Amino acid sequence: MSMNENYQKDFLLSDEDKKFRKEIQDFVEKKIRPVADEIENTDDFSYIRKIYKQMGEENLLSLPFKKYYKGWLKNPGVINSTLLAEEICRISAAPGIAFGASMFYGKALYVAGNEQVLENYLKPITTGEKMGAICITEPSVGSDTANMQTNAVLDKDEWIINGKKRFITNAGEAELNIVYCVTDPELKAKRRHMSAIIVPKDVKGFRTKQYKFMGRRGFRNGEIILDDVRVPKENLVGNIGDGHKILMTQFNTERTTIAGQCIGIATAAFEEAKDFARNRTQFGEKIVQKQAIYLKIAEMATKLDATRLLCYRAAKMVDAELPGRKIMREAAMAKLHASEVAKEICDDALQILGGEGWTKTGYGTKYHVERYYRDIRIHLIGGGTSTIQKYVIASKELNLPLRL
Whether residues 143 and 122 fall in one domain: no
What domain range includes position 10?
A: 3-126
Whether residues 137 and 204 fall in one domain: yes
User: What does the mean pLDDT of the chain come to?
Assistant: 93
Residue 158 resides in a domain? yes
124-129 long-range CB contacts below 8 Å, 24 or more apart?
124/175, 124/176, 125/61, 125/176, 126/56, 126/61, 126/62, 126/65, 126/68, 126/69, 127/56, 127/61, 127/62, 127/68, 128/52, 128/53, 128/54, 128/55, 128/56, 128/57, 128/61, 129/56
Residue 21 resides in a domain? yes
Residue 110 resides in a domain? yes
Sign of CA dihedral 326, 10, 110, 175: positive
| CB distance 113 to 122 below 8 Å | yes
Whether residues 233 and 268 fall in one domain: no
41-63 pLDDT, tens digit per residue, is: 999 999 999 999 999 999 999 99
Given 181, 212, 241, the domain boundary residue is 241
Q: What is the pLDDT of residue 1?
A: 43
Q: What global pTM score does this model have?
A: 0.94
> Is the model's pLDDT at 229 over the cut of 50?
yes
DSSP character at residue 215: S
Residue 404 resides in a domain? no
Q: Which of 24-28, 56-60, 86-90, 320-324 has the lowest mean pLDDT?
A: 320-324
> Is the model's pLDDT at 380 over the cut of 90?
yes
Whether residues 146 and 256 fall in one domain: no
CATH number of residue 184's parent domain? 2.40.110.10
Whole-angstrom distance, CA of residue 118 vs CA of residue 126: 10
Whole-angstrom distance, CA of residue 161 vs CA of residue 181: 8
Identify which of 206, 128, 202, 125 has the alpha carbon closest to the alpha carbon of residue 165.
Answer: 206
Whether residues 340 and 287 fall in one domain: yes
Kindly tell me the burial class for residue 353, based on how many C-beta atoms sit within 10 Å of its own C-beta (0-12, 13-18, 19 or more).
buried
User: How distant, in Å, are the alpha carbons of 18, 52, 149, 258, 329 from that of 103?
Assistant: 21, 12, 25, 11, 21
Q: How many domains does the chain have?
A: 3
